[in-house]
C-alpha cells in the first residue's frame, strides 16, 4: 500500500501538472481564439462604413429636443476662440461634445488628439437669423467627416446640405443678400490643412490669457470651456502644468503685432503651417502655444520681404508677401482686400473683405514693423 502510495503520489502530481498544462494550454488556445476574433471584430467595426449623416441637425447630438434649439445635452460644452475666422460678419457659436468618459489628449499642446466620437458644431447667424450650423465628427476609424445644416427661415429646423454645398443661398440678412454653404470638399480644404482638423479649440485659442486687441473678439460666456475649465472637467488630459500656470500667448514686439499675428493665425494658419497637409508654399502663419517665440520668428521670416509665389496682375515689383512700412506693396494686404475669386485670401468662405482685419494688418505693416523692437 505504501509502495502504491509512493507511486501514486508522483503520478497524481504528474497528472495535476498535466491537467494544469492542459487547462493553461486551453486558456491560451481560448485566448488565441478570442483575441484575434475580438481584434477582427474591432477591425470590422473600424472598417465598417459609418452611419449616414443625419438628415436633421437635431439628430446629431447637439440639441436635446427638436424645435427651437438651445436645449443642449448636458455633455455639450460651449467654447469661444480668442482669434476668430472672418466669416463676413456672421455671429458664431461653437460647441464640443466628447464621448462619455473620454478626454482630449493635450500632451502635445499644439496638436490636440480628439477621441473617436468627438463632435463639434459651429452656428452662423446674420442679424439674428440662424443660417447654417456646421458639424464635424471624428469617426470610429479615426477619420473626420464634415457636414453643413441649413436652417429654415423660421429657425425651427436645420436640414443637411448637399455634398456640393449651396452657392449664393438667398439670405436677406447676409451681406449682399446671399450666403454660400460650403461643399464638403471645401470643408476638407480648410480643416485638413492643419495638423488637427479642429481649428478653434486649441491651447492657444482657449487660453484664459485672451488678447484684448483681437479683431472681432467675442467675450466668452461665463460657462464657456477654456483651458482651465476643460482640465477641471476632466475633458483635457496631459496638458503641461506650465501652460495652466502661465497660459499661452503669442510672442510679439507690441500689442498690435500680437493681435496681427493672432489674426493671421486664425485666418491663414490652418493652411500656412508646418503640418503635412499645408499648402505647398513657404508661408508659416500658425502660432505655437509651446514655443511662441520660435513660431513668431518663423512667421515673420516667411513674410517680411519674402518673394511671393503669387504674382499679382497689378504692378508689384518686387512682389513680396509683406513690405514693412508699405501695406500698398504687400501681396498679403492685396489678397486680403481682394474678393476676385482667383486672388482673394482666404480663398473661400467669404465674399466681403474684413475692414477691421485689414485695418489691423495695415497698422502693423505701416506703423509697427518699420520701428519694431524685438520682444
User: Using CB under 8 A as the criterion, which residues of the chain lie in contact with other proteins when the complex forms?
Assistant: 185-186, 188-190, 192-193, 271, 276-282, 309-313, 340-344, 347-348
Sign of CA dihedral 262, 264, 270, 276: negative
Q: For residue 28, what is its C-alpha cell? A: 491560451
- Give the Cα separation of 241 and 139 in Å (integer): 30
Least distance from other proteins to the Cβ atom of residue 190, Å: 7
Least distance from other proteins to the Cβ atom of residue 278, Å: 8
Least distance from other proteins to the Cβ atom of residue 67, Å: 36
- Kindly state the helix (H) or strand (E) to which residue 47 belongs, with its residue range: helix 2-47
Query: CB-hemisphere CA count at 13 Å for 257?
Result: 21
Nearer to other proteins (CB atom), residue 120 or residue 334: 334
Least distance from other proteins to the Cβ atom of residue 26, Å: 44
Block residue for cell numbers 461653437? 94
Q: For residue 265, what is its C-alpha cell? A: 493665425
Least distance from other proteins to the Cβ atom of residue 185, Å: 4
Name the 3-class secondary structure at 217: coil
Nearer to other proteins (CB atom), residue 69 or residue 333: 333
Least distance from other proteins to the Cβ atom of residue 118, Å: 22
Can you count the helices (H) and strands (E) in the chain? Answer: 9, 10
Nearer to other proteins (CB atom), residue 276 or residue 374: 276
Nearer to other proteins (CB atom), residue 54 or residue 277: 277
Strand runs labelled E in the chain: 77-79, 91-97, 104-105, 119-126, 129-138, 144-151, 158-160, 166-170, 178-181, 236-237
Sign of CA dihedral 54, 76, 184, 165: positive
Nearer to other proteins (CB atom), residue 105 or residue 343: 343
Least distance from other proteins to the Cβ atom of residue 25, Å: 43
Nearer to other proteins (CB atom), residue 99 or residue 312: 312
Name the 3-class secondary structure at 237: strand
Nearer to other proteins (CB atom), residue 91 or residue 178: 178
Name the 3-class secondary structure at 241: helix
For residue 53, give the DSSP letter: P
Least distance from other proteins to the Cβ atom of residue 163, Å: 12
Other Cβ atoms within 10 Å of 304 Cβ, number? 15
Nearer to other proteins (CB atom), residue 238 or residue 346: 346
Name the 3-class secondary structure at 262: helix
Amino acid at each position: 500500500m505504501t509502495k502504491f502510495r509512493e507511486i501514486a503520489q508522483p503520478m497524481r502530481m504528474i497528472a495535476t501538472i498535466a491537467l494544469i498544462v492542459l487547462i493553461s494550454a486551453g486558456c491560451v488556445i481560448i485566448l488565441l481564439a478570442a483575441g484575434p476574433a475580438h481584434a477582427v471584430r474591432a477591425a470590422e467595426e473600424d472598417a465598417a462604413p459609418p452611419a449616414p449623416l443625419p438628415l436633421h441637425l437635431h439628430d446629431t447630438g447637439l440639441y436635446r429636443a427638436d424645435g427651437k434649439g438651445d436645449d443642449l445635452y448636458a455633455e455639450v460644452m460651449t467654447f469661444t476662440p480668442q482669434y476668430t475666422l472672418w466669416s463676413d460678419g456672421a455671429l458664431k457659436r461653437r460647441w464640443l461634445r466628447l464621448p462619455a468618459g473620454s478626454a482630449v489628449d493635450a500632451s502635445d499642446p499644439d496638436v490636440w488628439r480628439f477621441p473617436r466620437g468627438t463632435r463639434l458644431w459651429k452656428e452662423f447667424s446674420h442679424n439674428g437669423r440662424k443660417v447654417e450650423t456646421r458639424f464635424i465628427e471624428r469617426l470610429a476609424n479615426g477619420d473626420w467627416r464634415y457636414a453643413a445644416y441649413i436652417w429654415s427661415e423660421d429657425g425651427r429646423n436645420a436640414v443637411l446640405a448637399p455634398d456640393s454645398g449651396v452657392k449664393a443661398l438667398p439670405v436677406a440678412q447676409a451681406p449682399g443678400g446671399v450666403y454660400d454653404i460650403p461643399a464638403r470638399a471645401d470643408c476638407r480644404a480648410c480643416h485638413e490643412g492643419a495638423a488637427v482638423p479642429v481649428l478653434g479649440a486649441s491651447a492657444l485659442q482657449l487660453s484664459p490669457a485672451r488678447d484684448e486687441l483681437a479683431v472681432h473678439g467675442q467675450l466668452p460666456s461665463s460657462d464657456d470651456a477654456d483651458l482651465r475649465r476643460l482640465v477641471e472637467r476632466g475633458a483635457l488630459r496631459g496638458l503641461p502644468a506650465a501652460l495652466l500656470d502661465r497660459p499661452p500667448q503669442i510672442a510679439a514686439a507690441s500689442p498690435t503685432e500680437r493681435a496681427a499675428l493672432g489674426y493671421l493665425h486664425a485666418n491663414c494658419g490652418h493652411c500656412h503651417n508646418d503640418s503635412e497637409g499645408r499648402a505647398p508654399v513657404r508661408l508659416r502663419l500658425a502660432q505655437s502655444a509651446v514655443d511662441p517665440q520660435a513660431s513668431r520668428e518663423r512667421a515673420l521670416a516667411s513674410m517680411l520681404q519674402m518673394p511671393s509665389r503669387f504674382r499679382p496682375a497689378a504692378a508689384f515689383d518686387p512682389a513680396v508677401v509683406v513690405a514693412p512700412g508699405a501695406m500698398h506693396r504687400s501681396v498679403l494686404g492685396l489678397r486680403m482686400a481682394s474678393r476676385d475669386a482667383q486672388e482673394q485670401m482666404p480663398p473661400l468662405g467669404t465674399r466681403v473683405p474684413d475692414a477691421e482685419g485689414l485695418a489691423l494688418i495695415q497698422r502693423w505693416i505701416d506703423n509697427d514693423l518699420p520701428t519694431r523692437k524685438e520682444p
